[in-house]
């Protein structure tokens, strides 16, 4: 992560404290973001141990900029405290589950 001075301390702690973290950058006016939100709910229901964080880019543009988010939805997947995937656009639960290694979600989809 570059520009870490613009990342809120609570988010830094979340990324450092959990092995599996999914961060979705979204906006209320974004229709594809609503689809991704539903996919993340499915991921949350079927893949225990995954921490999901949603950040509204219209309320926190500095954090979005520090992660180099240029469009929404953008999903960042962290495994073992490292960025494992950056996905821009609509993403399905099973695609995120593959990156996370979450077999429960793969079986449910």
> Which residues are catalytic, by number?
30, 33
**For the whole model, what pTM was predicted?**
0.85
The residues that bridge with 5 in the sheet, in sequence order, are none
pLDDT 10s digits, 52-77: 999 999 999 999 999 999 999 999 99
- Residue 64 CA from chain centroid, whole number: 12
In angstroms, the Cα distances linking 106 to 29, 76, 88 are 29, 19, 20
Who contacts 12 (Cβ-Cβ below 8 Å, separation ≥6)? 4
pLDDT 10s digits, 69-109: 999 999 999 988 889 999 999 999 999 999 888 866 655 55
Q: Which helix (H) or strand (E) holds 21?
A: strand 20-26
Nearest-angstrom CA–CA distance, 80 and 58: 29
Give the CATH number of domain 4-101.
Answer: 3.40.30.10
């Amino acid at each position: 992560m570059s520009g870490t001075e613009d990342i809120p301390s609570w988010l830094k702690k979340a990324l450092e404290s959990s092995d599996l973290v999914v961060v979705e950058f979204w906006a209320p006016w974004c229709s594809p973001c609503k689809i991704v939100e539903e996919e993340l709910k499915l991921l949350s229901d079927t893949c225990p141990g995954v921490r999901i964080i949603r950040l509204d880019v219209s309320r926190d543009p500095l954090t979005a900029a520090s992660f180099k988010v240029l469009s929404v939805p953008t999903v960042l997947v962290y495994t073992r405290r490292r960025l494992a995937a950056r996905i821009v656009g609509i993403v399905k639960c099973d695609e995120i589950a593959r990156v996370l290694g979450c077999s429960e979600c793969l079986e449910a989809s």
